[in-house]
Amino acid sequence: MKILEKVTLIIYSYIMLVLSILACLLVFGWLDVDLVGKIVNGAIVSNVWGKVILGVSVVFILLSIKCIFFDSTSKEQIKERQGVLLENESGKLMISKETIENLVNSVAKGFESTEDVVTRVELDKENNVKVYANLVVSSEAVIKDLSAKLQTSIKDKIKKATDLEVNEVNITVKKVAEKKQEE
């Protein structure tokens, strides 16, 4: 959210808090309705305060319409969540998170000791890539060696295919698959 939106939201929240407290005090009878009516009437009839109240009201109406009908996330933020946008003199290229996840899956499934893999990719504003791979490995797997080779292979494959640097490859071994018995 932009700084202006945050400030107006804070002011709007305080005004709503005060109005809600006033409404409660009026309903419970702890505040005289006639007194509040006279204060509000005096403020509206006053030349200066009437214009201030009108201006604030118009601003809040416009902010309410903006919040209801318009999303505050920019197109750039949406693209960041969906993938990496690369640009050169010939045009633009969008590499989706799903594409990177598929690359990771193909690398992981290329290892004999990997039974199954579930991948998640995170991207930040600077196009830094973090890969999270959850594996099911065979009972013959040497997990330490497998993870080191897998991390290197994933980084190399993504660099070669997309020209993106992978900051982290985080591997979690969820399960060791039971050894299949031959009949």
Residue 124, pLDDT above cutoff 60: yes
What tokens appear for 107 in the block?
């690398």
Mean pLDDT, the chain, integer: 85
Are β-strands 166-176 and 129-137 bridged in parallel, bridged antiparallel, or unpaired?
A: parallel
Which domain covers residue 25, as residue numbers? 3-69
How many separate domains does the chain show? 2
DSSP letter (8 states) at residue 149: H
User: For the domain that residue 172 is a member of, what is the CATH number?
Assistant: 3.30.70.1350
- Which residue, of 69, 86, 120, is where some domain finishes? 69
- Interatomic CA distance for residues 124 and 109, integer angstroms: 26
Angle, helices 3-28 vs 33-45, to 10°: value is 140
**pLDDT tens track for 82-95:** 788 888 888 988 88
**pLDDT tens track for 25-60:** 999 999 999 998 898 888 888 889 889 888 888 888
Q: Does 116 share its domain with 160?
A: yes
Angle, helices 47-69 vs 3-28, to 10°: value is 110
- Interatomic CA distance for residues 118 and 178, integer angstroms: 18
Q: Does 30 share its domain with 102?
A: no
| Residue closest to 92 by CA, chosen among 77, 73, 104, 79 | 79
Tell me, yes or no, whether 22 lies in a domain: yes
Tell me, yes or no, whether 74 lies in a domain: no
Tell me, yes or no, whether 156 lies in a domain: yes
Candidate from 29-43, 64-78, 148-162 with smallest mean pLDDT: 64-78
- Which residue, of 20, 52, 69, is where some domain finishes? 69
